[in-house]
Amino acid sequence: MSTPTTHQTPVDTLITTIDAALRTLFVPPRASQPCPTLPGEVTELSAAEMARAGALMRVNHVGEVCAQALYTAQAFATQNESLREHFSKASAEETDHLAWTRQRLDELGQRPSLLNPLWYAGAFGMGLLAGRLGDRVSLGFVVETENQVEAHLENHLTLLPEKDHASRAIVAQMMADEARHAQDAQNAGALELPTPVKSLMRAAAKVMTTVAHRI
């Protein structure tokens, strides 16, 4: 999804931010890169395996909805044009993840979370708060978020059906991308967040993943 770009007026930035939210929640996402696959590996799943994989991919899709909200909010909050471009670039790459997970949900015959507008609003608020606390804090929030997401995806690789090669290829690529986003934010001058803040972020993520698994 698009996020604010350089040389925009405050009104332009607000309009672009609202547009990004509407596109994330209500417009089928389009990936700029082909969906990852494992060449020569055919996915054949039972009904129970499809349901299990679908629940896990629904959680991953929610994570990408939240990623759009976070990066859009942080781009909106910063006054640093270079940093806004940094967030915009990361958001565009996360759009691929959003599209891939949605495509996989469709293939598995599963629906996205019914609470996506709520997840988006919550994540946007967190991203906006981080952005208002300063650019280094905002980047630190990215680092911690991406580190937690990477660990979450690694766990999903152990939970997905072994024969679900399609979902596993997507998750593996997402893991690599999230690690790179964390490193990019670290290189840009991220401030390490206090342990209590990290714990609060983990608790919030736990609530989201638990609820999104079913709803």
Displacement of CA 8 from its chain's centroid (Å): 25
What is the mean predicted confidence (pLDDT) over 133-152? 90
Say which range, 1-5, 38-42, 190-194, has the weakest mean pLDDT.
Answer: 1-5
What integer pLDDT is reported at residue 77 of this predicted model?
A: 87
Residues 72 and 4: their CA atoms lie apart, in Å, by: 7
What's CA 154's distance to the chain center, in Å?
15
- pLDDT of res. 5: 42
Q: What is the pLDDT of residue 10?
A: 67
C-alpha closest to that of 209 among 155, 147, 163: 155
Q: Identify the pLDDT of residue 40.
A: 67
**CA quadruple 163, 167, 169, 171: dihedral positive or negative?**
negative
Of 173, 40, 58, 174, nearest to 107 (Cα)? 58
> Model pTM?
0.84
Report helix, strand and coil shares of the chain as percent, to nearest 5. Answer: 75, 0, 25
Domains of the chain: 10-25+53-212 (1.20.1260.10)
H or E segment and range at residue 21: helix 10-26
Question: How sure is the predictor about 6, in pLDDT bands with cuts at 50, 70 and 90?
Answer: very low
Contact between 113 and 146 (Cβ < 8 Å):
no
pLDDT tens digits for 84-114? 888 888 888 889 999 999 999 999 999 999 8
pLDDT at residue 1, as a whole number: 47
